[in-house]
Structure 1
């Protein structure tokens, strides 16, 4: 998935990479990230939760820390910008 020159918003593109299972587009040529795809997915899901357009959906910092440490499971995040009609996929 190429966003260069499209005016795509990074958070929308990252969410689309998560949604369509194309995480490798996010980490091109990063061998360390490719070798730990479960951590990459967890961190990306936490990030998506943190940028939710609706503030009440965003986790507390305590919850973010717990999710990043792997203490609690990170649920699948919803589209962070449900009111945005643009699609970059």
Structure 2
């Protein structure tokens, strides 16, 4: 058994559920980092006043699902001017952080989606990070 290594908030659920570890744990971590880059904030910010925003992946999915993706970029005018790309990147990140490893794309496919070489399908909703570690 491999020892758990990584930073809290970036670890895939496999580490917490004694599931087999594969390259898909890195895809998960990349998805979290992608969300952080899009939103300019950490994955877990428990000091926020709005509980709905504490877990970044949950909040971003809610914004995406409610067609309010502009909320996640704040007042960033450059990003607001290219919301189609922001939505695509959010969708890619949502695929990367799927709880079921087999549903996560390969990094090759992630690269192709980021480059616009292949289309990005609408992702299913992620499980809550909190529920995934319980």
Equivalent position to 1:32, from 78, 89, 100: 78
Show the 5 A alignment for 1:51-70. 51-70=97-116
Q: Normalising by structure 1, what TM-score? A: 0.84
CA offset digits 1:5-46 (Å, max 9, x no partner): 217311010011111110111011100000001100010000
Query: Alignment partner of 2:124: what SS?
Result: coil
Query: Alignment partner of 1:26: what SS?
Result: helix
Moved over 2 A (4+): none
Q: Normalising by structure 2, what TM-score? A: 0.57
CA RMSD across the alignment: 2.0
Q: Mark the runs of 5 or more structure 2 residues left unpaired by the alignment.
A: 1-45
Deviation, structure 1 residue 67? 0.4
Say which one has the larger Rg: 2
1:10 corresponds to 2:56: yes
Q: Number of residues paired by the alignment?
A: 82
With CA pairs under 8 Å and 6+ residues apart, which has the higher RCO, 1 or 2? 1
Q: Mark the runs of 5 or more structure 1 residues left unpaired by the alignment.
A: 85-89
